[in-house]
Amino acid sequence: MKSFINQLIKTIDEKDSCSVVGLDPQLEYIPLEIKKAAFKKRGDSLNSAARAVLDFNKQIINIIHKHVGIVKLQIAFYEMLGPWGLRAYSDTIKYAKKKTC
């Protein structure tokens, strides 16, 4: 198993970038169309908000993954959405690892 620092250096070298993208979502900054889709499907709930966050995160990761290999999440933003937020946090990490590594 590679050490964290070795993986970090490898990623920086491969992407030729030491940029970090922070995914610290606030619902008011998520585009309306993403929120509408999530809330239409699940109703007005924390589950819907967490789904909107996850969908938004995935869109950002899809855009940046070829150029940025480091994504940082602030768990407090996800904790505010209860267990659904923690699921969005976990799913975002898995998705980012799959796309950026």
Locate all alpha helices (DSSP H) within 16-45, ordered by sequence: 32-42
Transcribe 49-70 into DSSP letters: HHHHHHHHHHHHHHHHTTT--E
Evaluate if residue 44 carries a pLDDT over 90: no
Locate 9 and state its tokens: 């250096």
Locate 92 and state its tokens: 């975002």
Locate 53 and state its tokens: 């966050």
Summarised one tens digit per residue, pLDDT across range 19-35 is: 999 999 999 999 999 99
Name the residue among 77, 74, 76, 71 with its Cα closest to residue 52.
Answer: 77
Lowest mean pLDDT among 1-5, 11-15, 21-25, 82-86: 1-5
Give me the mean pLDDT over the 46-70 stretch.
96
Specify the 3-state DSSP secondary structure of 34.
Answer: helix
Do 91 and 85 touch, CB atoms closer than 8 A?
no
